[in-house]
Amino acid sequence: MYRPAALSEFRAAVDGQGRVTAWSHRRAAPALSYDTVRRLMPAMASNTPDKNQIEGAFDIPYDFEHVAVRQIRPETPVPVGSWRSVGHSYNAFFTESFVDELAWAVGQDPVAYRRSLLGRHPRHLAVLNLAASKAGWGTPLPAGRARGVALHESFGSICAEVAEVSVEGGQVRVHRVVCAIDCGVVVNPDTVEAQMQSSIVYCLSAALYGEITVAQGRVEQGNFPSYDALHMAQMPVVETHIVPSTAAPGGVGEPGTPPIAPAVTNAVYALTKKRVRSLPIKLGA
């Protein structure tokens, strides 16, 4: 099974203070639930609106006055299935990339801009503040490096990540990732840290290398020689910080995945002023 190919179109209206008065998001992707049920239990398949396809798109925490999210469910011959963090994996990339574009468009710092939009979500704000503080947001970096940030809630947990990147020979290099998570009551902090690390390396592999191509009706990638993954020498330093919380326990197996791709591409923009709008990342020399 393959991760669904997905496409988003955004429009927003912004007032003189940079506040978003209208947010429109149209999403096109094969319906995960329908495709899975049709394959495994065809008698129960019903091509109805699919929550999995737009999770992380319709339930964003930002204080936008008017929000419209629409899903389009094209059918393709490619069999699709759930990827780690399901629809959140691509919707976080789309949403957090566009929020970042808005911040730059209105001339505001990306972290400060997000803070201004989280007045009704103190848990999200605390997670964002912790990640930014531990990452040293706003402090000088070595020449040729920049930071990017992304914030996303999934599976009952809120996760923010700050990525520190450089571009070497047209290739993105991620040097450091600072992750903050509020996953409610924590039983085993070591498990949380391990899952954040694995989520980050999993999605970095996809964001940097994870392309599937089809030729003459067949997928060209057969195994790791033609479908690369992040190598040990390319692995960034990953720091995990847990927000003390008395909320109900949330997930940790998947919430670290969605924010990392947009954190990296937002850092690429801060460094190069080139906006990455598709994955895997391809900058050229």
CATH of the domain at 186: 3.30.365.10
Max avg pLDDT among 26-30, 74-78, 91-95: 91-95
User: Which residue range(s) make up the domain with 176?
Assistant: 7-272
Position 278 in a domain = no
Q: Are 148 and 263 in contact (CB under 8 A)?
A: yes
Q: Which sign does the torsion angle of CA 109, 167, 164, 141 carry?
A: negative
Indicate the pLDDT class of residue 183, thresholds 50, 70 and 90: very high
Please give the Cα distance from 154 to 158 (Å, whole number): 6
Position 280 in a domain = no
Of 105 and 76, the structure prediction assigns the larger pLDDT to 105
Position 283 in a domain = no
Q: Which sign does the torsion angle of CA 75, 81, 82, 83 carry?
A: negative
Position 232 in a domain = yes
pLDDT number for residue 285? 52
For residue range 144-157, what is the model confidence (pLDDT) as tens digits?
999 999 999 999 99
Distances (CA, A) of 214 to 2, 75, 111, 223: 12, 16, 39, 14
The total domain count for the chain is 1
Of 44 and 276, the structure prediction assigns the larger pLDDT to 276
- The chain-wide mean pLDDT, for the chain, equals 95
pLDDT number for residue 252? 97
Q: Are 141 and 147 in contact (CB under 8 A)?
A: yes
* Measured distance between the N- and C-terminal CA atoms of the chain, rounded to whole angstroms: 33
Position 277 in a domain = no
- Is a pLDDT exceeding 90 seen at residue 1? no
